Structure 1
């Protein structure tokens, strides 16, 4: 029987508010892709060349990398996950007006500056969102709830592409508003996040980290059904945090000093970097110019983009019932193989068929290529789209979670900064043969998952340390919670077994 308790419903509600941060990313990735088809946009910004187009995308990713690596985690840890999400949404909201209304007298520089600020806002909000969801969701449905994180990326793309398609049907009436309307609509979800986020509780792990155990209990009571569940989780969190506080050094040093955490960080870096070189990152940013090699009419291209955004939502919903049933590893492996096949087929269809006058393909050929691109999204969305975020958000211990997730997530931007800068040049030089490159990359990613990625479905966050060859922070932390002189036993606590720690003299009853 499906659990529909008020606590579970509330858990879904606050998780979806946090997941709305991903709409910022999805809308933004789509909006620049969409406006590239507008002649009014190109004329307003001085008809930018492929290098300038790549620079605009690079500015967004670089802004996200800097803030994501060095600013998001300290804010998230010091002020809370909610504050990081609110600040990120506020920066995106502010930068939207710069993109829409900046004067064009100095070329595309002002638009580029607005895009850089968008990246900074995303760099603040995106790492905090999955950490927030992961720290409040119960283990048995954590994957299902986190799958909506990626689905909201598709919601953002859906909105941007359909607004843009509507504008392409009314270009003569709208003038420069045919692209401004698409840009300015980006304020909707940042405004929603800014309003709703502080009506959601902070995570119990953050409260306990700050020494506020009662606030942690109040937070957990809103999302757990029994007092026994609340107390058991509070105790487990306290034990893990006490161990991390007394034995591990700081928040960044363990990322490299602790072999178990270092292993996780390297794997997460590769996974997140790989997410954007599957081909999806380039299609998010450049599907308009990709489809210009197949179709003549911009309105048709934007309709395809809009339909892709629509089907992206449906495809991502597959993660909600597969990720906790079949596991993250299964989805990642099957998704990579499926994407590789789609890329090989699409390139082969394009190269093996004649091109009509004007540079387009026959209707049947063009439809086949579009079908294969949609099939690519079918494989990508629940796997490398959703499962990468789920896996990254759940594998790190509390003491480094905000830092590690922020740094790992920004590897997506590092990847995008490289690929999106050079993809327009590659596409201009070799055309659809670029899809063979992505096919090869996806085969390599499938092999990487098969040999190196462990399964994490259904595991409590505090159990991830043992999965990756480390000690159980919760078990070892029990000694620091239950015994006298935690500072003294911390001197060699990292080297003691759980049995040895349990034999340290206990606190005397008061």
Structure 2
């Protein structure tokens, strides 16, 4: 996360202060920003999922998407504020918006040294006592700490003994492969809902009604404001109703909104200039706001929650990275063809997004299992895999038995044995 934010700061700085007409500098800054975003988009959800208690994991992880909306809020309102002053501010009318990209990454970089490392990452590397200290900062009771540490150790021990820790494991393990396909398609689905395309080209649609750039920027800024409120719905819905519920209901709601938009546009007469009247434009904007109402807590927030929680520890970062990058690939493709699509078909393009959203709702109903309140170490069962904690418990028992023999034969604490293991081993030794 730190390196990703650092790339973001350097990229934004390079864009803002690129020499006049030196487009290569500006493009280079965009590349650095893309690299930084890719790193953070992989590490962020994984970290949030690993430090969150299972019963409120969805609530905490929903703030990932909420802060996406906060970023859009800052960007769109800054854009609206600088538009009327474009002549007095000159180049700084756009440089100010670009420079704001430094703000949040710099804030995150300042906070990260004070954040605890993931306890699962620590256990994976054998730092059991450090993991316990971290969990004591995040859990209410010592019983919760010890229970979670035990389940983490069991799962990781099983994965180390049985699984291959490489990209090959993404395809060798049937359960992981199934998850990779399902969650990968869910991430592609996030882009085919139409949200990303509308965020990029909403101004093109609004120009059919309003000629004022300032008015269009104001609509986008208000949209970004409501997006924050709509995303907050995921905070109380994700763990109460579940991720699957959000995806299904969100897909249906977005499909209905995408159906009504072209019906309004195609059933009303055009103005002499070929556009739409302002009341028709307001009705279309209202339906696009309804679309955002359904999108943000579902195919906005729930997708990121699933990204960070469904994969086992030994391939979690690799699989999450691949799935999140599928968003970028799909977004790139759809954003390329949408201008031509819209130019040729106009508002009929929304029928395409309507069918996509209804299809995504059906896909979620049939293929996406519910993961709410399930611990990260036991999610494998939902996708047809083994219970890593149960399998790991047998291995851990054997390991503790071997440690017991060492205690009996060589008094003293064996290297790498925790105090809990030593106590348990001593009890067994007494029985022996």
What does 1:23-172 align with in structure 2 at a 5 Å threshold? 85-105=1-21, 108-172=23-87
Is 1:396 matched with 2:291?
A: no
Is 1:460 matched with 2:375?
A: yes
Secondary structure in 2 aligned to 1:457? coil
- Does the 8 Å contact 1:100/1:180 carry over to 2? yes
In 2, the alpha carbon distance for the partners of 1:165 and 1:258 equals 50
Shift of 1:310: 0.2
Is 1:311 matched with 2:223?
A: no
Unaligned runs of 5+ in 1: 1-84, 488-505
Judged with a 3 Å threshold, the aligned counterparts in structure 2 of structure 1 residues 343 and 459 are, in CA distance, closer, same or farther, namely same
Is 1:329 matched with 2:244?
A: yes
In 2, the alpha carbon distance for the partners of 1:486 and 1:150 equals 46
Shift of 1:479: 2.1
Judged with a 3 Å threshold, the aligned counterparts in structure 2 of structure 1 residues 130 and 475 are, in CA distance, closer, same or farther, namely same
| Partner of residue 350, structure 1 | 265
In 1, the alpha carbon distance for the partners of 2:102 and 2:2 equals 13
Is 1:429 matched with 2:337?
A: no
What does 1:432-447 align with in structure 2 at a 5 Å threshold? 432-447=347-362
Secondary structure in 2 aligned to 1:103? coil
Judged with a 3 Å threshold, the aligned counterparts in structure 2 of structure 1 residues 484 and 309 are, in CA distance, closer, same or farther, namely closer
In 1, the alpha carbon distance for the partners of 2:260 and 2:62 equals 28
| Partner of residue 478, structure 1 | 393
Secondary structure in 2 aligned to 1:169? helix
CA shift digits 1:118-158 (9 cap, x unpaired): 11100111111111111111111111111111111100000
Shift of 1:264: 0.6
Rg (Cα) greater in structure: 2
In 2, the alpha carbon distance for the partners of 1:176 and 1:358 equals 32
Judged with a 3 Å threshold, the aligned counterparts in structure 2 of structure 1 residues 383 and 484 are, in CA distance, closer, same or farther, namely closer
What does 1:395-414 align with in structure 2 at a 5 Å threshold? 395-414=310-329
In 2, the alpha carbon distance for the partners of 1:138 and 1:367 equals 43
CA shift digits 1:155-204 (9 cap, x unpaired): 00000000110001212211121111111111110110110011000010
- Does the 8 Å contact 1:239/1:477 carry over to 2? yes
TM-score, normalising length: structure 2: 0.91
CA shift digits 1:343-371 (9 cap, x unpaired): 11111212222332444421111100100
In 1, the alpha carbon distance for the partners of 2:79 and 2:401 equals 60
| Partner of residue 88, structure 2 | 173
| Partner of residue 368, structure 1 | 283
In 1, the alpha carbon distance for the partners of 2:72 and 2:366 equals 33
Judged with a 3 Å threshold, the aligned counterparts in structure 2 of structure 1 residues 359 and 171 are, in CA distance, closer, same or farther, namely farther
In 2, the alpha carbon distance for the partners of 1:181 and 1:249 equals 48
Secondary structure in 2 aligned to 1:288? helix
Judged with a 3 Å threshold, the aligned counterparts in structure 2 of structure 1 residues 211 and 101 are, in CA distance, closer, same or farther, namely same
Shift of 1:394: 1.0
- Does the 8 Å contact 1:294/1:359 carry over to 2? no
CA shift digits 1:87-111 (9 cap, x unpaired): 10110111002222223535x5443
Unaligned runs of 5+ in 2: 403-424
Is 1:257 matched with 2:172?
A: yes
Which stretch shifts more, 318-327 or 270-279? 318-327
Judged with a 3 Å threshold, the aligned counterparts in structure 2 of structure 1 residues 156 and 326 are, in CA distance, closer, same or farther, namely same
CA shift digits 1:407-455 (9 cap, x unpaired): 1111110111111111122222222221111111111111111111111
In 2, the alpha carbon distance for the partners of 1:299 and 1:231 equals 57
| Partner of residue 382, structure 1 | 297
Shift of 1:486: 10
Is 1:289 matched with 2:213?
A: no
In 1, the alpha carbon distance for the partners of 2:92 and 2:274 equals 29
Shift of 1:286: 1.7
Shift of 1:225: 0.9
CA shift digits 1:205-237 (9 cap, x unpaired): 000111111110111000011111111111110
- Does the 8 Å contact 1:104/1:110 carry over to 2? no
CA shift digits 1:357-404 (9 cap, x unpaired): 444421111100100110000010000000111122111111111111
| Partner of residue 414, structure 2 | none
* Equivalent of 1:217 in 117, 125, 132: 132
In 2, the alpha carbon distance for the partners of 1:486 and 1:299 equals 72
Shift of 1:327: 1.0
TM-score, normalising length: structure 1: 0.77
In 2, the alpha carbon distance for the partners of 1:265 and 1:104 equals 45
Judged with a 3 Å threshold, the aligned counterparts in structure 2 of structure 1 residues 298 and 89 are, in CA distance, closer, same or farther, namely same
In 2, the alpha carbon distance for the partners of 1:137 and 1:204 equals 10
